[in-house]
Amino acid sequence: MAQKGPWLGLWLSLAALLVGLFIHRNASMGDAPSTSHDHTECRHAKLSTSESKGDWCPKQPEPLSRGLDWNPADSDDDRSQAYERLAGAVRIRTETFESMPTDASDPQFDQFYVFEAYLRATFPAVHAKLQLEHVNVHGLLYTWQGSSPELKPIVLMAHQDVVPVNPATESQWEHPPYSAHLDADGWIWGRGTTDMKSTLIGILAAAEKLLAEGFQPERTALFSFGFDEEVEGERGGKALAAVVLERYGPQGVSLIIDEGFTGVSNDFGREFARVGLTEKGYLTVQMSVAMPGGHSSKPPTHTAIGITGQLFAAMEASPGPVRLDESNPFFAYLECAAKYGDMDEGMAKRLNCPDCWPALGQELAKDPDMAVFLRTTQAITVVNGGIKENALPETVTSLTNYRTVFFETTQVVLDRLVAAITPVARAHNLTLDAFGTHPDVQQNVIRLKTVGPVSEPAPTTPHDGPAFELVAGTLRHLFPKSVVVPSAMTALTDTVWYHGSSKHIYRFTPAYFEHLIGFHTVNERIHIDAHLSTIRFFYKLMRNSVGWATDRKDS
């Protein structure tokens, strides 16, 4: 999952647990004397006149299990085979880099030939019975033709590539990053174990088992595996999505499932299975400051680097608004926690009081792990400037990555950036070329431009109806103690290219989140139980799709 920022490892490893624990900690203070006048009003007077009448927590379907069932965790042979299949995939170093060419046939992508050969050898039945198409060289699109072609297909997604391992940190790994070492406690170590070769191998392992059992899907199943998701997916995911859209038409897919930071976790004394129903937008802005150079012995009051620092300070002083309301899937999760979990009564009352939401949102957003659900994030990730200690920098460039929150747009984010830095430009008599407004100015200029893909926040998948019931019912069969709740994906996935194909896109990992550690960082690892539950989920989902409510191509 494409994600950038220096806080990445901490957030990815702890976010799912900290969300619930932080809120629970604050909720437990609900009956204590408040230091906030607004908070006190919300807890008492306002409740009588401004109660929320909505019920945003979805109705829980019964556990769903059609046809045969299979749990690879029940057999030592199945567990061993599952590990060996995943380990072989992890050992193939399918790294992608920002500097890679746009031409997918370039030799820099040749590792994906090796990876495909491994998949062919490891899953012979899949490759004998399913149609495999190559999309833009290395994109893999498997089609398992259903017996009822009038039904809309399902799409199961994963990506083949992984983020690179920084050579400077390789020695910090407890086990080598491409060893796929299985330790005595059941952890499989290696880059790509969590993101996301477990899912890719899990989909194919489920299909291989179903084929061995003679299973015939009723509706066509597509397996779509991109190869450059970690560098924004413009070669792989985009090309694959275009084929699907052209072949099946707008909204021609019944449901899509892809990766997510969310899984099954324990919060508020209850087990919740969090399903991402939307995804934040994605945007990167390059800022450059061009000023005259010269000898460092005769500097101006502020060099280009100094002014860049002032620009950064102005940007970070304008983080954008916080909003907590029923349009945010995170709010629905909180409602479910109040309904099914052990949430403090004071906290639950505030959730039922719309007038209380602004203050509550501000409180939650003080923690970075909460803020990602409540506002657009802004991360200054790259800075370059100067070439010698005794020469003034002539140009300083930086990259800032934004993840646009669900209630904002790209244009709102860009407008806020311009407003934040305009006073700095004026104070230093610099021209502000904001996205092409002054392209001819070459000196004493601050220039802004977007780089890479730009995506708006994803449409929100409904958390009711047959598609949600199929997904949630399957999860409740695997995790019978869980309440299935809405959540959101705060990073970028290849589903960004599929919005035209389906209104029902789900982003999650069918495993206990505590069994997924180290996304994109040192000591990435997955517990074997998480991989086994992933296999079982896709196996059961495909079986449960037989006899599923009508969702025809002509509807």
Which residues are part of a known binding site for Zn(2+)? Answer: 159, 195, 230, 258, 520
Query: Which residue from 511, 537, 497, 549 is spatially nearest to 228, judged by alpha carbons?
Result: 497
H/E segment holding residue 488:
strand 482-489
DSSP conformation letters of 78-116: HHHHHHHHHHHHHTS--B--TTS-S-TTSGGGTHHHHHH
Query: Which residue from 123, 88, 93, 133 is spatially nearest to 109, judged by alpha carbons?
Result: 93
CB atoms under 10 Å from CB of 389, counted, come to 6
Residues 402, 377: contact at Cβ < 8 Å?
A: yes
From the DSSP assignment, how many helices (H) and strands (E) are in the chain?
Answer: 15, 17
Exposed/middle/buried for residue 56 (C-beta within 10 Å: 0-12, 13-18, 19+): buried
> Encoding tokens for residue 450?
């977007």
Question: Exposed e or buried b for every residue in 453-491, given b needs 16+ CB within 10 A?
Answer: bbbbbbebbebeeebbbbbbbbbbbbbeebbbbbbbbbb
Q: In Å, how far are 311, 312, 384, 440 from 396, measured between CA atoms?
A: 12, 12, 6, 18
Between CA 143 and CA 159 the distance in angstroms is: 16
Q: Which of 116, 208, 228, 229 is catalytic?
A: 229
Q: What torsion do the CA atoms of 354, 355, 360, 362 make, to the nearest 10 degrees?
A: 120
CA angle at 71 for the pair 474 and 206, rounded to the nearest 5°: 75
Between CA 227 and CA 158 the distance in angstroms is: 9
> Encoding tokens for residue 150?
């009038």
Q: If you ran DSSP here, which 8-state letter would residue 165 be given?
A: P
Identify whether 325 is a catalytic site residue: no
Q: How far apart are the first and last CA of the chain?
A: 33
Secondary structure of 524-551 as H, E, C letters: CEEEHHHHHHHHHHHHHHHHHCCCCCCC
Identify whether 161 is a catalytic site residue: yes
From the annotation, which residues make up the binding site? 159, 195, 230, 258, 520
Query: Which residue from 161, 165, 286 is spatially nearest to 232, judged by alpha carbons?
Result: 161
Residue at token pair 């140009």 = 395
CB atoms under 10 Å from CB of 177, counted, come to 26
What residues have CB less than 8 Å from 282, skipping those under 6 apart?
A: 2, 232, 401, 402, 403, 404, 453, 454, 455, 492, 496
Between CA 180 and CA 187 the distance in angstroms is: 9
Q: Are strands 139-144 and 221-226 parallel, antiparallel or unpaired?
A: antiparallel
As annotated, the active-site residues are: 161, 229
